[in-house]
Structure 1
């Protein structure tokens, strides 16, 4: 089978963690298949309301001005090779960037699956929020799952299932963490590009609590930082001159990066998710509505602005109960896997 996955490549590693989980889950149900991506990277697939370059190309009927050379689904070539389309999570599963994909699904009558849909706010399944094509595809979908309750409620006319995000399956292997030796802290800034940055309030809060964590836990545990986006590497040198940070351009490398740690703390929802997939407990620093996704990873959560003493106590309690928490994550992962595979069996042909 040729399965087209809606995702991003070289943009937000979290999207690719979700993709990895979707592929691992579907492989258990379907077996081997060819993964193809519909790349929503904004550098590759722009979403401008008025795009002069695209208008010229549309008039000429070919990519005359701007070449589409990305190794992914092209706008002008038919998707007649596809056997199924899978929307692999992420809040961006509708809108201008997705127009080509929805029209192709309808044109070629492709079976469609939505896995782990999330949102950053409430909405309704109406003409105000969905195009006619989007509504048509949703109504014909084989399966729809959501990772938060707001999305499930927004899709009320559709039979949607609220299940933890597929990123919980981004790693095929997991381990029981019996003691904490290394802690990973997720670093972010307010100066990175939009959608990969955080607010100044969140940034200042993380800098403050991370310095206190280094002070209070640095002598007993090895602590490193993790970066998901290249814009974070330069400011890190100013913020934490003596500390070590790990980063890779390749999302799959984060399986090895996060597997170094016995506890992870930070603001990246799917940094918590990929860690949980390996049995590693996490503490989420919540900075927007999407943070509730980590409940599906059994992570603890504190809000930006939480007093440090409360966070300190939570870290200490997590360290003391790390094996219990790790085993709970593994049991939760297996139970969730069974739920997904049961839904697949009833909805997705092999």
Structure 2
């Protein structure tokens, strides 16, 4: 047998672990001495992955049902009448008209009247088939005199409106020249008639307006003449002049006429120039004569007014003398009577 353990050794074994011996401090922040403690193994903490699968994919959020904002009860858009699916579903749904009619359990037998015997008198048959007479209603009664007058007035108004519409739709023609015919128109060496397409207006009141409008209307006339010659390939010659014009007359000759008859066109120009100069001089002479006659008439008017003034003054003088003589005679008669 071995040596028995001493009591001192046993006591040290039972006391447990011996505290650690403090070591020399190596700095101000040296750690205090700690006891040695037997720690159990701690499981390793899983580290976070830095790859593509760092976060698991989240579950997709459930989308709320979409509802109609126009209908008061806000139904689903798939069932709403404003959408194509709703209209399609409504068309596919059976309507009330297509519903099968209910079949009655039993059909009642309608009694058939017995045939009328031929032996019955004719009067009885007539009475059996007679229909009660209808009483006259307000719609079947004849119209009153006031209603007849109203109907007549309405008829006249409709007739007048129809006539006005017909008048608006009417077009002038040679058989119906309601605007009159063109004066001074001829075909060859003979006069001819052609209906106006518009109403002939009154002449201008003053000479200044006439001069301005002559320039505008002559431009329109020559433009229409050129269009007529160009679109129809016709021969057109137009010459216009005005009494107050200070330049030569205006004329237009179509291209076809200038190309085919240049010499004759030159002759026409010369003749037209002579004619315009002649009427221009004649118009000036007429204007001079008119001015002379107007001046003479003005002088005669002034002389007549002066003579009338002198005669009126002479009449007043004679009247004053007559009044004075009448007063003298009246005074003499009063003296003789006294």
Please tell me the TM-score bracket, short chain as reference: under 0.3
Higher-Rg structure is 2
Bigger fraction of residues in strand: 1
Which has the bigger relative contact order, CA under 8 A and spacing at least 6? 1
TM-score, length-scaled by structure 1? 0.17
Q: TM-score, normalised by structure 2?
A: 0.18
